[in-house]
Every structure is written in C-alpha cells, then in structure tokens.
A and B are shown apart, each in its own frame.
Chain A
Amino acid sequence: MTDTSPETTSAAGTGETEKHQYDVVVIGAGGSGLRAAIAAHDAGAKVAVVCKSLLGKAHTVMAEGGAAAALGNLWPEDNWQVHFRDTMRGGKMLNNWRMAHLHAQEAPERVLELEDWGALFDRTKDGLISQRDFGGHRYARLAHVGDRTGLEMIRTLQQRTVQLGIDVFMECTITELLTDPAGNGRISGAVGYWRETGSFISFEAPAVVLATGGIGKSFKVTSNSWEYTGDGHAMALRAGAKLINMEFVQFHPTGMVWPPSVKGLLVTESVRGDGGILKNSEGKRFMFDYIPEFFKAETADNEAEADRWYEDKANNRRPPELLPRDEVARAINSEIKAGRGSEHGGVYLDIASRRTPEFIRKRLPSMYHQFKELADVDITQEPMEIGPTCHYVMGGVEVDPDTQMSGVEGLYAVGECSGGMHGSNRLGGNSLSDLLVFGKRAGDAAAAYVAGLDGTRPTLPEAGVQAAQELALSPLLGSGAGTENPYTIQQDLQQTMNDLVGIIRTREELERSLAEIEKLKDRAQHLAVTGDRQYNPGWHLAIDLRNMLLVSECIAKAALEREESRGGHTRDDHPGFDERWGTLNIALSINSAGDGVDLATQPLPVMPDELAAFFQEDH
C-alpha cells in the first residue's frame, strides 16, 4: 500500500478515531520529509509520511535554481572546505558550524544518489552534472535542471517513495504532537484529521520527524504556498522543543511585482547567476553602490571585472548582483525608497540585453513561461520588474546537528522547519542540499532510536488525543459567540507582519506588531466557520491560524530582542553588527500558560580551531 485514504468506515461525526501505529511518522512530504522517510525505511523502520496536500505538490516543487554541492565538475578547485566557508560567511557566522560542516561534506553524495534513482540533471560537455553560479558561492556549484530543479528533486524522491512502498497519508493535516506523560516527556505520536472527510486520525509512534517547511504565509508578499503556516515550528514549541534564529527571515531579492495576481512570486536567482543585472529607473547598475565591507575583498567594484568573472573566476571577483540575498534585498529596498523604483514599485532585472534569446529560453524556461503567461513580458526582449518577497525562514527547531533530534526525545526536525544550518542568512542552493543531507540523517537517526528502545514504546495518551480533537472542532461548533472570519484574521496578520516585521525593522514597529498579534490572538478565540467538516478550507485555515499566530509572535519577539543588523534581520535603529550578538542565539520556548512564548539568549556552539582557520586566511 502506498497512498492511504480515509477509512470509509470512519464515522465523521461520532468522535471515532482512525488509529495507526508506526515506528517513524514523517510530517511533510517535501524534499526533506521524503528523504527522511526513504532513509528510515531503508534502515528497517515501519514508516508513514503524512502531508497536507497531494503527494508531489509540496513547496519543494517550486524551488528553481538548484542544489548546492561541491562536486567540482566545472571547477576542480571547489571542495567541501570552500563550500563550508561560503555557507558560514553567507550566514554571517551565526550558523551552527557542525551542520554547515556536515552539509558541505555530504551534499555531493546526496545529489549523486538522486541520479541513481532516475533524476536527469543538466550536463556539462563531458557528460557530468552541470553546475551553475549563485549568490555567495565562490564557484559554480548548483546542480540543476533548467530552472525547475525542485520539481526534479521532488519527483525523484516521490517515485522512490512509491517504489519502496512507503505508506503516504495525503491531504491529512497533523494538528498536535503528543508526548508520553510516563516517559519524561518523550514523543509518543501525533493526531490530525483527513481534509477530505474531516474525520480524525491518530498515529502512535516513538519517533516523529517534522518536515513541515516554513512560515511565509504569515506575510502578505511571499513566494510561499498556503501550506507554509509554521505547523512544525508551532507544534514543536507546544511539545516542549525550542526554536532558534526566528528573527532571521529571508526576503528574496527578486519576486514579481506585477500584475497583482503574482506579486511575490519567485524569480529565480539563476537569472543573476546566468548573467542578469539589476538596474534602477535611471538605468544605473546600482549594486556597485552597495558592496558591504564584509564582502569587499571578494566582490568586483567595476562592470568590466564583474562581466569577466563568468568566464574567468580565478582572476576576477564576483559581480555584486551575486552578493548573498540579504545584501541584494536591502539594496533593492533602498533604491525603491529613494524614489528610483520602477513603474510598479520594484527595480529592473535585465538579462535580455546580456544573453541571447536561445540561451535564456534554454537556461530559464520556466521564468520565460511565467513572465510570458502571467505578465505579458518577454524576458528575452525586455527587463523584468522585481522586488523583495518573503521567501524562507532561517529559524526553526533547535536540533542536534548530527541526528536532527530536538530537545524532546524522539522528535526530529529537518529542512526549513529546523534551525541553525543557515545562521542569519541562507545562500541560494543550500536549501535543496540541506533537505537531502539532513533528511537522510534524521531518517537514519530516528530508525536507530526506535530500534534501540528496550521494549518500552511510549503510548499515546487518550486524554491528549481527545483534547486535540476538541480544540480542532471548536471553530466549527458554532456556539453562537463566534463572529470572526478566519480569512480576515489571516489577511490582517499578513498585513501586520509585512508592515511592522518586514525587511527593515525598528523597536517602535516591533512593539506595535506584538500588540497587534495579541489582538489577533484574542480575535482568533472567536472564530465563526461556515459549512461542515467535509473538505472545508475555512475550517482548515481556522486550525492553521493558531500556528501562524504563535510563530509570528516568535519572529517579532526575537526581532525586538536582537539589537543589531545581521543577515535576514535589519534594524534601522541598530545598523551594523554588534560583536556581542555575534556569539548568541535567541531561543524561544512555550510559556507556562501555553498561550505565548518566552525568550532567552544562549551561546552559539564554538567551532574547532582547524575549521576556524578557514576564516583567518587572507582571501
């Protein structure tokens, strides 16, 4: 059996719960979830994958540029040491060094494995996997398939999952994790509902892997899909785990700005990696004005050198368009604020004047298609209008770097919902490889953990199952008191986060955002949902809102606390690095009342001397 449907016998209205037992339950079926499931299955565990959408539709499918791995196919000088250094510097040294280390070392093998399973990457002229330039990477490093690499990756993993016969519960939402009251709070399973029928389902499992992705749907302008409501982040908090780095939200520099229907939709960084440049309304290539001290030594300061770099990386420095994303997004924001923006409030991204139409169509087919179909713009002939869009959260569940286990025994987190790997800013291309490297590690570790249990498997507490179900049903019961439309609360939250917790932040605005979030939390106590339990998106949103509000509070609280600017966190009232903050993580945990979060700072793990040496040498 591969995909699993609601049991026809389950009686939606009667409170009957469909019950399952597994060794490992993976929540989320994107790249990291599927890779974890495959690893746990291969290690002998009985595995279930549970996902909110149909299999193959997870957000990974939208990833465009590629998977960063130091294969050295185009530049033999590339190796894991260079990749590690690029990743740490891109994250402004706030990364968990051990995760960045493992990632750089293991990414090449994880990519080659996809090829064993049938993935067809673009090739070099020697027939090897081709690699593409991206921001912050010293060498062309991203294994890719045109600009639809995420689709290739998810389809490969999906087909592998089906081939192995792993059980997949599609369109099934998990609402709560449960811990074992008898076993010092270790994980004992999860509860949720079938979206199709609204009937409840429970999973008793000693190991749960969270692979739920990010939080972008809390922002108005975002490249993220409806699923990105921070479920894993919020459920982990409530189960007793800590979140770190939540103040760091990546605004991708290039989202579409027009037409309104597609505002926020991603325009891949590959456009710049393949030669595209940024211009303001005066036609000026403005990125040369925004090269920060931290990257001066490795960034070209004139157009001639920048243009030579594509062919000769040994003797030229990188174009400033390929600075890490946080730098480029801030620069674009400044140009727009200074009144040098485009007609629809963005800036221009131009590849038409730099590469041939044939090259553009071959390398960027889905961008060509996207602009042609949705904006009537032919990107081989004219520039694109683009602006920053909420894209990725660096913050997530604090995990052990080797096993991905959180502070809660048996609870693992991988991919975007885990924290640490990317520090304060993620380099493009490091996400897809992150999913593979840590997906495999978590799957292996979860299976080993379950195999090592000495016959004392945790049991699912019946009271917890009941409580979770009652909470899930509460917006539907229609006590008569509810008046709030969940869609309206979501829109108000998105507006608040966009306006007050966006790309540039101040104390005053962050304090205001926290007050607004409290009001929204209060309003969310009085929801009125129309319709019944059968495939009811209004009800589903009402359940997800609770998670969105909790993670939004985490972001705003952490952003208020960190009084410096670093990576994906820019404080107008505290510009520049603060050395003291450079060694600290902000950790959030659920408060004692369970209705908000507490904050604490903790020291960043210190890297060993032999790795620290990479950062002392002159570049």
Chain B
Amino acid sequence: MAYTLKMRLWRGDRSGGDLQDFDVEVEAGEVVLDAIHRVQATQAGDLAVRWNCKAGKCGSCSAEVNGRPRLMCMTRLSDYDPSETITVTPMRTFPVIRDLVTDVSYNYEKAKELPYAELPPRDADGKRRMMQEDVDRGQEFRKCIECFLCQNTCHVVRDHDGNKKNFAGPRFFLRYAELDMHPLDTVDRRRVTREQAGLGYCNITKCCTEVCPEGIHITDNAIIPMKERVADRTYDPLVWLGNKIGIRDKDRDSRAEL
C-alpha cells in the first residue's frame, strides 16, 4: 500500500535552522530512513543524514523521531498512522553539524580515556580458557552498537553540557563493567570508574536502558553493579578497616589497582 507521508525534517547547521515540510511517497513495510532517502533522492539532494548498514547493526542513523531517540532504520512507518506527520530532528545532546548529522566527537574523546583488557599469558597450549557463564555478561555489554542514543538521552549531559568533561556516560560505563567482569582480566579499575569516568553522577533513572536498541540492561546489569563495587571499595567501613589491618578482599587478589 503506497501513500503520501507528511514529514517535518530539521534542516540547518551550527548557526541555526528550522523544521521543513516534505510530502514523500512511501510504501508498506518501509522505515523512516527509507522515507528520508527518498526525500534525498528526489527533493533535497544535499539533505545530510548518517547511515551505513540500514539493519540496526552499525548504530549510525540515530535521531529523534517525534521526539523519541531512535535508530531511523529500525523505526517502521507502520507504527504510525498514515495521516500522522513524522518529525525527525537531530540528537539534541550533541552539536549539530548539518541537518540530521551531529558532532558526536564527545563519545570518541571519552573512548580515548577508557581502560583496556590486560590479560595474563595464555595457557601452555597457546589457548585461553573461559567458561561461557563467565563471559555471558560481558557479551551482553559488547552487543553495544555505539549508536550513542543512551549518551544522547542521559540527562546528566543532555541537560548539563558542563558535565561532559567529567562524565563518560552509559555507553562507556558498559565498558568499565565489562572489564571488571572479565574472567581473566588483571586490573582493578574501580577507582578510575569513580574518579575519572564520573559514575557517581548517574542517579539511575534508567533512561539509557529504555532507549537502547539492543536491549542491553545498561542500568541493572552494568551501572548498578559497578556502583556497588565502587561503593564497596570506597565507602564500606568494614572494607576500610580490613584494608587498614591488612585483611584483603580475596576475590580481587588477581587484580592490581589502576
């Protein structure tokens, strides 16, 4: 079934812009990104939009569709009434470059501060052994496609641009948690997670989890456990006392503090 879709697309650049109306022919089974591509091919050749795989695997086409942070390639037109106008605006937390394309360099800057895996030597036969149950959680976090919708939605930076300097954001808390839960890793990064990544800024409103297109339980499985681990190290009076008198947490014996 073909029909004419009414779209409002934000067009402009760093100096400003506004919503423009487009009427575009669409078909049953199409997604918002198809409609945008048709506008591009037939009405506005210079309409700027990021995309790559168009299959929800690369995380390039993030935007706000009727105000909701989403991947345009995974937002089906059939979820809207054909008479409804669909409004697409760029992610609000990042500076606009042009039209629907934003400057997401904040995320790439934060990525440079991340720790990395530091594993012991391999086993004698040149291989490594880890049990599936021990990598399940890390694998959940590594499903992240870096669409940065969680970063866009997180009010810590969405509403307070000044926090960006001290706050890595939910996408990267996944990475800290993944390394802390890696069965072979040798480093304890709880101190840097608190001091450098700013885990304490998060007050677990779960907005990140809600918008994750991969369905990763960012808050419950990564952020809250990391907060608990950080709290254990920093604030638990028994742990403090234990440290003072030389009784150490045996679970952490294989990890050296960063």
Contacts and interface: CB of A to CB of B under 8 A. Distances in A.
Contacts of A397: none
Contacts of B60: 53-54, 57
A212 B199 CA distance: 38
A131 B114 CA distance: 30
A302 interface: no
A373 B142 contact: no
A581 interface: no
A5 interface: yes
B153 to A, nearest CB: 19
Contact of B52 (A126, A155, A227): A227
Contact of B54 (A61, A265, A536): A265
Interface stretch (B25-33, B80-88, B233-241, B249-257): B25-33
Nearest to B46: A531
Given A128-B129, A486-B45, A538 B101 contact: no
A61 B58 contact: yes
Contact of A148 (B54, B57, B101): B57
Interface in B43-59: 44-59
Given A62-B55, A225-B52, A366-B57, A115 B128 contact: yes
Interface string A574-614: 00000000000000000000000000000000000000000
A500 to B, nearest CB: 22
Nearest to B34: A261
Contacts of A152: 142
B30 A260 contact: yes
Interface string A482-502: 000111100100000000000
Nearest to A373: B74
Contacts of B244: none
B156 interface: no
A55 B108 contact: yes
B135 A370 contact: no
B142 A120 contact: yes
A334 interface: no
B145 to A, nearest CB: 7
Contacts of A486: 45
A537 B40 contact: yes
B34 to A, nearest CB: 5
B30 A120 contact: no
Q: Which of A55, A73, A117, A373 has the most CB of B within 10 A?
A: A373
Given A123-B130, A529-B45, A534-B13, A374 B142 contact: no
B124 interface: no
A500 B248 CA distance: 72
Interface string B97-113: 11101001100100110
Interface string A366-379: 10011001110000
A97 to B, nearest CB: 27
A112 interface: yes
Interface in A124-182: 125-129, 145-146, 148, 151-152, 155, 159-160, 162-163, 170
Interface size class of B (residues with CB under 8 A): 35 or more
B127 A265 contact: no
Contact of B104 (A54, A58, A123): A54
B48 to A, nearest CB: 4
A531 B42 CA distance: 14
B76 interface: yes
Interface in A530-555: 530-532, 534-539
A3 interface: yes
Interface string B13-44: 10000000000000111110010000011101
A116 interface: yes
A258 B40 contact: no
A262 interface: yes
A129 B132 CA distance: 10
Interface string A188-202: 000000001000000
Contacts of B116: 117-118, 159-160, 163
A486 B76 CA distance: 27
Contacts of A115: 128
Nearest to B139: A120
B165 interface: no
A537 B49 contact: yes
Nearest to B76: A374
Contacts of B31: 261, 374
Most chain A CB inside 10 Å of its own CB: which residue of B46, B57, B98 = B57
B75 to A, nearest CB: 10
B57 A62 contact: yes
Interface string A225-249: 1110000000000000000000000
B119 interface: yes
A61 B53 contact: yes
A56 interface: yes
Interface string A399-443: 000000000000000000000000000000000000000000000
Interface in B108-159: 108, 111-112, 114, 116-117, 119, 122, 126-132, 135, 138-139, 142-146
A225 B53 contact: yes
A151 B46 contact: no
A13 interface: no
21 contacts: A3-B112, A53-B60, A54-B108, A55-B108, A57-B52, A112-B122, A118-B119, A127-B129, A127-B132, A152-B142, A162-B111, A260-B29, A261-B31, A265-B54, A266-B55, A370-B55, A487-B45, A529-B45, A537-B40, A537-B47, A538-B45
Interface of B: 13, 27-31, 34, 40-42, 44-60, 74, 76, 97-99, 101, 104-105, 108, 111-112, 114, 116-117, 119, 122, 126-132, 135, 138-139, 142-146, 179, 182
Given A53-B50, A145-B139, A155-B144, 8 more contacts: A54-B50, A54-B60, A57-B53, A151-B145, A369-B56, A534-B13, A535-B97, A537-B49
